[in-house]
Amino acid sequence: MSDYNAMELMISVAARELEDGASVGVGTGAPCAAAMLAQKTHAPNLMIVFEAGGVAPLLPEMPISVGDSRTYWKAIMANGMCEIMETCCRGMIDYTFLGGAQIDPYGNLNSTIIGTDHQKPKVRFPGSGGANDFASFCWKMLVMTPQDNKRFVEKCDFITSPGWLQGGDSRARSGLPKGAGPYKIITNMAVMDFEPESKRMRIISINPGYSLTDVEANCGFELRKASKILETQAPTETELRILREEVDPYRYVIGR
């Protein structure tokens, strides 16, 4: 049971960030798997919230969309998207998981276009959905993503979901809630957080099988470094068993 893949590692690391009694806004895929794993291990009272309206379901198995009927299974409430976004605006959601095609040193995310011409981009992506709302108003934003130079860029072609904007206090000065913003970046190679003052991304732990050189070589900007960089804890046998047998037995996510 000691063998695991990159997706299983990222999900396990992300799940450990979610404490019992917290609330988390998730989409489907890896974020949902992380929330389910946390709920089935150390955080039975974790409140999972889906942007389509499901609040605190006890997920029987992996849903395939945020509006899947399983996202309402034994939930305490079946709302709509407007109510969920209002709940975020009121500061009642602790964590959220987001991703994108690009991420910059301050955790800003692009899931809209690649290229500088908005009308005729090189690539057009689906856009925000509820990601801008979650990034703007949930207290701690986590990102789970593979790491490479094309995804980790010095400047996003478009900012779909705000991170720490230009760093420092620029996010608070923009009018967004003070203290809310990017929290951890979890990749296949490392875990990053953000410096308290500058709000630039920094390495805090490196995943098993990778080196500092690997992490820096697969990033399109200079990463700051914590005073002590740790080794990321590999998934435990218990985490892998629950993830494979209860959370995602059909390997919709961990089979990627």
In a domain, 232, yes or no: yes
Is residue 241, in this structure, part of any structural domain at all? yes
The residues annotated as belonging to the active site are 51
Question: How many CA atoms are closer than 13 Å to the CA of 85, on its beta-carbon side?
Answer: 10
* pLDDT for res 129: 86
How far is the CA of 27 from the CAs of 72, 121, 143, 249, in angstroms? 13, 26, 12, 19
Domain assignment present for residue 31? The answer is yes
What CA–CA distance (Å, rounded) separates 114 from 127? 11
Residue 96 lies in a domain: yes
In this structure, is residue 1 part of a structural domain?
no
Determine, yes or no, domain membership for 256: no
- String of DSSP letters for the chain: -----HHHHHHHHHHHT--TT-EEEE-SSHHHHHHHHHHHTT-TT-EEEETTSEES---SS--SSTT-GGGGTT-SEE--HHHHHHHHHTT---EEEE--SEE-TT--EE-SEESS-SSS-SEE----TTHHHHHHHSSEEEEE----TTTB-SS-SS-SB-SSTTSTTHHHHTTSPTT-EEEEEE-SSEEEEE-TTT--EEEEEE-TT--HHHHHHT-SSPPEEEEEEEEPPPPPHHHHHHIIIII-TT-TTTT-
254 is a domain residue:
no
Supply the pTM of this predicted model: 0.94
Where in the sequence is the domain holding 99, given as residue range(s)? 6-247
Q: How many domains does the chain have?
A: 1
User: What is the domain-level CATH number for residue 147?
Assistant: 3.40.1080.10
For residue 256, what pLDDT is reported? 80
Residue 120, domain member (yes or no):
yes
Pairing of strands 123-124, 113-114: antiparallel
Mean pLDDT (10-residue bins), the chain, 256 residues: 87 98 93 96 96 92 90 93 93 95 98 94 92 96 97 97 98 95 98 98 98 98 98 97 96 91
